[in-house]
Amino acid sequence: MWIDLRSDTVTKPTVEMRKAIAEAEVGDDVHHEDPTILRLEEKTAAILGKEAAVFMPSGTMTNQVGLRTHTQPGDEVILEAQAHIYYYEGGGPAALSGASCRLISGDHGVFTADQLVKSIRKPDVHHPITRLVCLENTHNRGGGRIYPLEEIRKIGAVCREHDLALHLDGARLWNASIALGKPEAELVSDFDSVSVCFSKGLGAPVGSALAGSQAFIQRARHFRKMFGGGMRQAGIIAAGALYALENHREQLAEDHANARLLAEGLSQVEGVEVNLDSVQTNIIVFQTPGTSAVALSEALEKQGVGMLDFGPEALRAVANMMVSREQIQQVPEKMSKALENLS
């Protein structure tokens, strides 16, 4: 039995979700006539406490359309050095928005308001215009780290003071909300725009949404079309996302408990170093000192476990709804065997 911990993007639709997909009412979404998409957009906006939302096929697209909507070519965007938008989106900010990225090194993906203040450009003909700040919550390369709410509040105040827009890559905002026991709207009240994904821990096969003010989302719809994201009877896929939003948020707590159990188990394995304090949600990033992560992930695959190499001697495991507690309990032993086979 394949224990797939490579990502929470590997989750497959459940029988009930497939039923909702099969029965979805559809229309032409470019004409704004798909009733399922309209329901999903309304519900997403309400959960996030924003005026409007727009459905798109991927988190990469919602982030990049968000950036394009906020910026003009030549503008500068401030991001954490390991932010998904910068690290994993194919150079999108430069290619699609003509924006340059200014990076701040954070602690597990979290930079402070004080660090931000130092990175904002003064008006000067030599400088690009700082226009936008992006945060990520939870932070993927930061090991699923939750952005502390008091820091978000301070960063929000700095952005307002300097007339900067604030965007959230909230692909896993749902995880932060469940882990903190705070509603999503409270976590995103400082942001002008928020990207969320239905296709990660929530288990929908496809889909993300971008939320913000009415005027912002209206403009974002233009760029969604320009980027090729204007879909037609896409209620077929939105139905899976809507089902996930309505039924799968609470169960993320199980993924978090499984991640903790796995981290504790792995911390007992010789040759593995896990910082247990750093595990806050469903992602574990851990060190494999002296062992190549690529070789180890291949050896693990032979044991029936999927993990991704996340650095020369670091792996990432992501608890998700396809992996049961019983399977999680088997992983430390399989890890020991994989390490033995390499030595």
Interacting residues toward ligand TLP by CB under 6 A: 7, 9, 58-60, 63, 84, 88, 136, 140, 169, 171, 197, 199, 208
Using the minimum distance from each CB to ligand TLP, give the nearer residue, 284 or 339: 284
Dihedrals phi, psi of 274, to nearest 5 degrees? -120, 130
Residue 7 · residue 308 · CB < 8 Å: yes
Using the minimum distance from each CB to ligand TLP, give the nearer residue, 9 or 233: 9
Q: Quote the least distance from Cβ 8 to ligand TLP, whole Å.
A: 7
Kindly state the tokens that stand for 329.
């309990």
Cα of first residue to Cα of last residue in the chain, in angstroms, is 25
Helix axes 173-180, 252-267, angle to 10 degrees: 80
DSSP string, 153-180: HHHHHHHHHTT-EEEEEETTHHHHHHHH
Residue 322 · residue 10 · CB < 8 Å: yes
Using the minimum distance from each CB to ligand TLP, give the nearer residue, 84 or 167: 84
Q: Quote the least distance from Cβ 200 to ligand TLP, whole Å.
A: 7
Using the minimum distance from each CB to ligand TLP, give the nearer residue, 60 or 193: 60
Using the minimum distance from each CB to ligand TLP, give the nearer residue, 50 or 200: 200
Using the minimum distance from each CB to ligand TLP, give the nearer residue, 6 or 121: 6
Distances (CA, A) of 24 to 37, 39, 238, 242: 10, 11, 8, 10
Q: Quote the least distance from Cβ 231 to ligand TLP, whole Å.
A: 14
Using the minimum distance from each CB to ligand TLP, give the nearer residue, 57 or 271: 57
Q: Quote the least distance from Cβ 81 to ligand TLP, whole Å.
A: 14
Q: Quote the least distance from Cβ 130 to ligand TLP, whole Å.
A: 22
Residue 55 · residue 286 · CB < 8 Å: no
Q: Quote the least distance from Cβ 316 to ligand TLP, whole Å.
A: 8
Alpha helices in the chain (DSSP H): 15-22, 35-48, 59-70, 84-87, 92-97, 113-119, 149-161, 173-180, 184-188, 214-226, 235-247, 252-267, 293-302, 325-342
Using the minimum distance from each CB to ligand TLP, give the nearer residue, 4 or 192: 4
Question: Which residue, judged by CB position, is nearest to ligand TLP in the bound state?
Answer: 59
Nearest one of 119, 116, 169 to 145, comparing CA atoms: 169
DSSP string, 42-102: HHHHHHHT-SEEEEES-HHHHHHHHHHHH--TT-EEEEETT-HHHHSSTTHHHHHH--EEE
Q: Quote the least distance from Cβ 244 to ligand TLP, whole Å.
A: 13
Q: Quote the least distance from Cβ 327 to ligand TLP, whole Å.
A: 19
Separation of CA 312 from chain center: 23
Using the minimum distance from each CB to ligand TLP, give the nearer residue, 202 or 335: 202
Give all strands of the β-sheet with 314-318 in edge-to-edge order.
283-287, 314-318, 308-309
